[in-house]
Amino acid sequence: MVRSNPGSLEIRPAQLPRRKRAGTWLLPAVPLLAAAAAALLYLAPGFFRAPWGEGTVLVVGNEKIGAGKVMLAGEEIYIDVETLRLHIDPHLFWDEAEQTAVITTADRVIHMYSDKLTAEVNLRPVELRFPLRSDGDRLFLPLLFLADFYDLTVTYHPETDTVAVDRADAPAYLARVASRNVRLREGPGLNCPYLALLQEGDRVRVEEIPIAGRWVLVRTAAGMTGYLPQKSLLLEGSYPSPEKRLREDEKPVKRIPPPPLVMTWEYTYPNPKVETIPEMPSLQIVSPTWFHLLDEKGNIKNLADPAYVNWARQRGYLVWALVSNSFDREITAAVLSSSALRRKVINQLLIYARLYNLDGFNLDFENFHYAYRDYYAQFVRELAPLCAEEGLVLSVAVSMPSEEPYWGKSYDRKALAEAADYIVLMAYDEHWENAPVPGPVASLPWVERGIRQLLQDVPAQKLILGVPFYTRVWQLASAGGDESLSSRSYSMGRIDEILAKNEVYIHWDEAAQQKVAEYKEGADYHKLWLEDFDTMARRLELVNRFRLAGVAAWRRGLEKPEIWELFESVLAG
């Protein structure tokens, strides 16, 4: 081969190819034809139009939930209970036994009954234009009635027989179709059947900023959802969303001191003589043990004392009254598992809050089986909006996490933290009164582990650390064995007296990060892990280090008076 001119080739006769046999020219084309056939087969579904749905279709955001989930009846749109729970409100509570739906939002509790045209919003009756409906075994709730409480926009598109639901807090963007005759497809690919043909200039809703080269899930102006290629879209800005309801001016403002909060429980069996209580600098909140579940009918035992409230007001303290389940398993199970009884308990508490001019509640439910943990979370969800409406702070006491079925596993700490204003970690009784071996009330490493565990589910700004004002003295076998015979808890002042009158050996427990005192009294040996200024200062430093909401002490009267000055000096402002 010789180049004669730049850019041209000259082929000599000797180099001419020989004539091929008949048909051999088709061989290279076979793979091409096969590939083309495969491509055509792959893309074939994309040439067909898919049906949008048989019956009214529900779309939430840009997600197609499907047909059969909503129904139209006159001016109301009904939604299936399970669909509402799965896609809008995971906390919707349906009480099958009492045929009652309980819906909780940040500021409302709605009770709806299957056999009544009256609902209740924050325990006040509201007439329903449309009752609940049933379709065989399924129950449907009026969606337009509930939309305001959920901050939803509900739109019916008759041209596609579609109900579209948008949340006020769901971020979304508006995009414009920038190509001609773009097909909206069921899935992200050209091989997916198409649902509609969109024209240049059509507006669609997108939930993620389109990324080059990808398919984008969109919702059309007619409510249909499907996929478009990113190259066919031009982002224009935020998608118009429903405005949130502004009700803050309708609600009393919760009185909350600046953090870190300092709180103490007040043991009221009986109520103390307030004139005997010394000054407590740095204290902000008192929680008297006043209200307790009395029986399985949902009645409450009331120990409230107006004189104590007046005293607290004069001192400048807030009153978060304690509400307990009396630590009774049967009563707790009966009350928590009934929507009507939960409502009854809540109604009584709100009446007491108004009667005694309270600032909040501290729930202290203990010793109930973890089978009722979801009911307890539901109870707190139902109480929280009503407390907010009344300007009441709601705090919930929880034990340290553990696998113990009646204590550690009883709390859905994450769900409780989502509903309540504060979670109070009762970080004490690591070794309880009848523990099989003696040990500290709350060793420092144990407390820190508990804080770290809770912070996985509870925001630091909602977590209050419970601390002990008491020390437990263990009486050991006279032979000096490790088996504990009994234990008893004492106040800080009483411990000083015990140590002063005995010959005491004090040493450091590295594992507990506490001082240990041992002494002999008669034939018995006694051992205690000291709860003093040093251990309390270390606990308060944990509050600072983890930037917790504050501290709560069990209980007033067991401390030395000067302990309050320690709180003031250690806690960060």
Task: Inform me whether the pLDDT recorded for 19 exceeds 70.
Answer: no
The pLDDT tens digits of the residues spanning 89-124 come to: 999 999 999 999 999 998 999 999 988 889 999 999
Q: Cα(523)–Cα(479) distance, rounded to whole angstroms? A: 8
Using an 8 Å Cβ cutoff, are 197 and 184 in contact? yes
Distances (CA, A) of 264 to 154, 286, 290, 318, 550: 47, 5, 14, 11, 11
The predicted model gives 20-25 an average pLDDT of 50
Task: Inform me whether the pLDDT recorded for 17 exceeds 60.
Answer: no
Report the largest interatomic distance among the alpha carbons of the chain, rounded to a whole angstrom.
126
Which pLDDT band holds residue 29 (cuts at 50, 70, 90)?
A: low
Task: Inform me whether the pLDDT recorded for 31 exceeds 50.
Answer: yes
Which pLDDT band holds residue 137 (cuts at 50, 70, 90)?
A: confident
Q: Tokens 């953090």 map to which residue?
A: 259
- Nearest to residue 366, comparing CAs of 443, 439, 466? 466
> 57-165 and 168-238: same fold?
no
The pLDDT tens digits of the residues spanning 160-196 come to: 999 999 998 888 999 999 988 899 999 999 999 999 9
Which pLDDT band holds residue 506 (cuts at 50, 70, 90)?
A: very high
- Classified as helix, coil or strand, 246 is coil
Task: Inform me whether the pLDDT recorded for 249 exceeds 70.
Answer: no
Residue-level pLDDT at 573: 54
User: Can you say whether the dihedral through the CA atoms of 341, 342, 346, 349 is positive or negative?
Assistant: positive
CATH class of 168-238: mainly beta
DSSP 53: -
Residue-level pLDDT at 39: 60
The predicted model gives 60-73 an average pLDDT of 95
- Classified as helix, coil or strand, 141 is strand
The predicted model gives 248-270 an average pLDDT of 88
The pLDDT tens digits of the residues spanning 347-372 come to: 999 999 999 999 999 999 999 999 99
Residue-level pLDDT at 477: 72
Contacts with 442 (C-beta within 8 Å, 6 or more apart), sequence order:
427, 428, 429, 430, 467, 468, 531, 539
DSSP code string of 448-499: HHHHHHHTTTS-GGGEEEEEESEEEEEEEPTT--S-EEEEEEEEHHHHHHHH
Which pLDDT band holds residue 334 (cuts at 50, 70, 90)?
A: very high
- Nearest to residue 447, comparing CAs of 385, 538, 532? 538
Residue-level pLDDT at 3: 39
Using an 8 Å Cβ cutoff, are 527 and 517 in contact? yes
Q: Cα(10)–Cα(485) distance, rounded to whole angstroms? A: 112
Q: Cα(498)–Cα(485) distance, rounded to whole angstroms? A: 19
Q: Where are the alpha helices (DSSP H) in 239-328?
A: 306-315
Question: Is domain 57-165 classified as CATH 3.30.457.10?
Answer: yes
Q: Cα(17)–Cα(470) distance, rounded to whole angstroms? A: 105
Task: Inform me whether the pLDDT recorded for 16 exceeds 70.
Answer: no
Which pLDDT band holds residue 232 (cuts at 50, 70, 90)?
A: very high
Going from N- to C-terminal start, the domains of the chain cover 57-165, 168-238, 249-471+536-570
> What CATH superfamily is the domain 249-471+536-570?
Glycosidases (3.20.20.80)
Task: Inform me whether the pLDDT recorded for 12 exceeds 50.
Answer: no
Mean pLDDT over all residues of the chain? 90
Q: Cα(536)–Cα(566) distance, rounded to whole angstroms? A: 8
- Nearest to residue 383, comparing CAs of 17, 66, 102? 102
Task: Inform me whether the pLDDT recorded for 51 exceeds 50.
Answer: yes
Helices (H) and strands (E) in the chain, counts: 12, 34
- Classified as helix, coil or strand, 100 is strand
The pLDDT tens digits of the residues spanning 424-476 come to: 999 999 999 999 999 999 999 999 999 999 999 999 999 999 999 999 999 98
- Based on the number of CB atoms within 10 Å of its own CB, is 418 exposed (0-12), middle (13-18) or buried (19 or more)? middle
Contacts with 196 (C-beta within 8 Å, 6 or more apart), sequence order:
183, 184, 220, 222, 224, 226
Share of the chain above pLDDT 70, in %: 89
Which pLDDT band holds residue 129 (cuts at 50, 70, 90)?
A: confident
The predicted model gives 536-553 an average pLDDT of 98
